[in-house]
Amino acid sequence: MVEIAISLAIIAFALVAIIGVLPLGLDVQKENRQETIINQDAGYFMDAIRNGARGLDDLTNYVFAITNSVQAYETTLTTTNPKGSPVIYGYSYFESRRNGALTVPQFPLNHGSNIVGILGTPKLIADGPDFFHSNYVVAYVRALSGSATEKFPQSDKNVQGLAFSYRMIPEVDPIPSFDMSSSYGKNLQANLNEVRLLFRWPLLPNWSAGNGRQVYRSLVAGSRTNEPSGSPLWFFQPTTFVNAP
């Protein structure tokens, strides 16, 4: 009986240690799975933005909202000052809004070209010699990769709500050139851009993000076009280059 009691004590001690390690192992497995999904989705979005893709309508099943906070600035020789409050643009599958009011014309997320065009918005846009505005674009995305039961044509709101989702913040900036007096420097800045994609995950019920964070960067050679002019849609043309004035 003494030997049996000692054996049971040893087994119980080992079981406690194993049970204590199990949650840690499950968390590591979940984090690795999420990082793998982010890596796969990042390549897809990066290629779509770099190539100015127009026909990726399947994105409408995954990108369910985009916001863009636009802040105007005025510059002087010594300072840069914000002008007024930011203007918030919101885009969903059904509509687009400006500070809560419907925009005219509408640019809803019901076409892949609208999604890619908004994601390609430049970080800074000049409005004149002393004025410019910044864009802070945030996309809310259900993962393109992962379990097939979460993907289209799945329409159960409960399943979609539990699916792995994340925030993606794209930033498009021209490569800075310190030689803006030469034609080479001007053309370099006009035709070479950097695209950065910041991912934050997982997306929580209050629309904030968890502790997961990863940044992906790539260079894009080619010009940018705003189509239609004055719209929030911007596309790269990787095979077209412009001569800067």
Tens digit of pLDDT for each residue in 133-151?
999 999 999 999 988 888 8
Distances (CA, A) of 89 to 2, 99, 107, 162, 173: 74, 6, 11, 27, 20
Residue type, 235: F
Give me the DSSP letters along 94-156: S-EEETTEEPSS---SSSHHHHHHHHT-BSEEEEETTEEEEEEEEEEEE-SSS-GGGSTT---
Residue type, 207: W
128-142, 149-163, 208-222: lowest mean pLDDT where?
A: 149-163
Query: What is this structure's pTM?
Result: 0.87
H-assigned helices in the chain: 2-50, 112-119, 157-162, 183-191
Structure tokens at 154: 């799945």
pLDDT of 205: 87
Q: Do 164 and 143 contact (CB within 8 A), yes or no? A: yes
Distance of alpha carbon 101 from alpha carbon 84, whole angstroms: 18
pLDDT of 37: 95
The reply to whether omega before 202 is within 30° of 0 (cis) is yes
pLDDT tens, position by position, 215-240: 999 999 999 999 999 999 999 998 88
Distance of alpha carbon 209 from alpha carbon 77, whole angstroms: 39
Nearest to 42 by CA among 169, 131, 225: 169
Q: How many Å from the N-terminal Cα to the C-terminal Cα in the chain?
A: 94
